[in-house]
Structure 1
């Protein structure tokens, strides 16, 4: 007894629609998981990355086994490729929503940074302010390390208080400051952001 008889589905419908759709969604899942696994690896979350790797491999094996069983169908190849592309997109959206990790924000402004410094102090953010010289004259350079989830609020303040400022944001793997690296409630934050 074959799969179409077990599921009571027309064999053509199974081979040209159902299996390609299953492959498409399996690829979305495994590529999204791969994206998250890499992010967790970069943030030294070895246990989470290991578990995600297991599920990624299992889903990939299911998808590739269906490809090999349906080698003559262009729909399965299209579903495989389309699912891979969509999985990248979905994985990036999930990663943006989770906002895992820390970033260093560097602000360079010719305008006095007093209001921005006041904002950093009000938010209990640690920062460093340097007076420097650019090709156009004196500037202030501010550095702060924050949790990535606070980035939109911080960038909003930079744009509000120093709209002409140049700012850069870079990911940080490790920070020696326990206050920034506090991971209490890590799992709770992940599930809250995903919902």
Structure 2
């Protein structure tokens, strides 16, 4: 193993990969922490810190080699991007989408409900007249499909999305809605 570490290119590669993995895990752990998944975050952090110590040790043991420090820095940047892409794929949690349509037609609400989304709607009044306001809660993995559905129904709809911190009560039954959304996804 020591012979491998003496080879400059291999050392740079190891440091780069170690830091990409470390920072990716760091990013995922932070997101899990923000989502309240403390035990999973703690497990990830255990692995993360071992990888961090190994990577940092390799750099500190070889500070006379500037390419190792550069590999560490580049690995950090790539790790941030990689961690974000992994989180996008995991799509943890839920998203709340507020929609304002210039058409006060309640058929909009029905079409979204038929696709499996939980929708609360009400009449609103905007600068140019009556509007239909809706609030939709959905798992994040269906977020882009929801936007697509909204734009198909009303291309001019005003959309604002955010992640709710707390969800309590209401009619939105996760299992029923997920099953309807999964069936819709399979049909499309």
TM-score by length of 2: 0.85
Shift of 1:181: 8.2
The whole-number CA distance in structure 2 between the counterparts of 1:147 and 1:120 is 14
The farther-off stretch of 20-29 and 108-117 is 108-117
Q: Please, which runs of 5 or more residues in structure 1 have no aligned partner?
A: 183-195
Matched, 1:29 2:21: yes
User: 2:110 is paired with a residue of what secondary structure?
Assistant: helix
User: 1:131 is paired with a residue of what secondary structure?
Assistant: strand
Matched, 1:80 2:79: no
TM-score by length of 1: 0.82
Match of residue 91 from structure 1 = 83
Matched, 1:140 2:132: yes
Tell me the matched-pair count. Answer: 175
Shift of 1:112: 3.3
Contact map agreement 1:175 1:181 (CA 8 A) in 2: no
Match of residue 191 from structure 1 = none
Indicate the RMSD between aligned Cα atoms, in angstroms.
2.1
Match of residue 180 from structure 1 = 174
The farther-off stretch of 86-95 and 38-47 is 38-47
Q: Please, which runs of 5 or more residues in structure 2 have no aligned partner?
A: 177-188
Q: Which digits, 9 at most, give the CA deviation of each residue in 1:90-131, with x for residues without a partner?
A: 111111111110110110111234343122221343221121
